[in-house]
Amino acid sequence: EAGVVQSPRYKIIEKKQPVAFWCNPISGHNTLYWYRQNLGQGPELLIRYENEEAVDDSQLPKDRFSAERLKGVDSTLKIQPAELGDSAVYLCASSRLGQGANVLTFGAGSRLTVL
Amino acid sequence: QKEVEQNSGPLSVPEGAIASLNCTYSDRGSQSFFWYRQYSGKSPELIMFIYSNGDKEDGRFTAQLNKASQYVSLLIRDSQPSDSATYLCASRGGYNKLIFGAGTRLAVHP
């Protein structure tokens, strides 16, 4: 079984530039999560999708961040414009709905550096 | 107060010893708890989860849950240098939300 696939693995941009991250979850996993992890901190949830529906986006900074999950499979997280404080690792994770719903499998992450 | 609190460490133990990692949570409605291991520069990977009060064992790992004290722990027996990593505690609370602590860094020295 292929794992959660994320791209790009690394991205360096200047502040005020846009950036986008892509995630392909494990096949059959209905729930998809985007987390942000700052250095020395635990992952912080940005948004959670159940199929195509964003069921929890309370922590997503909506003035500059957006996400979509068309067709309930792949997802894209966008930041526009990026700020210095957005430097972090953006982790995508997926899980099944129902029993064991919170057994998350994480992708390798996308490390963003904003200069 | 953070919702899930962990001592950042580092926790240093000699090879072969028992490592004890602790976590407290603030949401009394939390139903389940998870331990993830994260090697430097890698993504978190699930070690085990626990729903009921008491102990749950899986190989060298034992998770302990005390809901009355809002306390979760992870014991690693016969610690190996390969266990050196950051251990993240997470709780599932309202709206099925998984909240992570900041993690405890464990260093197992030969």
Q: Give residue A21's pLDDT.
A: 98
What backbone torsions phi and psi does residue A30 show, to the nearest 5 degrees?
-80, -25
Best mutation target among A49, A89, A91, A102 (most B Cβ atoms within 10 Å) is A102
CA A43 to chain B, closest CA, distance in angstroms equals 6
Give me the pLDDT at residue A77, please.
98
Range in A78-87, A100-109, B16-25 with the lowest mean pLDDT: A100-109
pLDDT at A100: 55
Among A43, A48, A102, whose Cβ lies nearest the Cβ of B44?
A: A43
- Whether A12 has a pLDDT exceeding 60, the answer reads yes
Using the structure block, give the residue that is written with the tokens 């999708």: A49
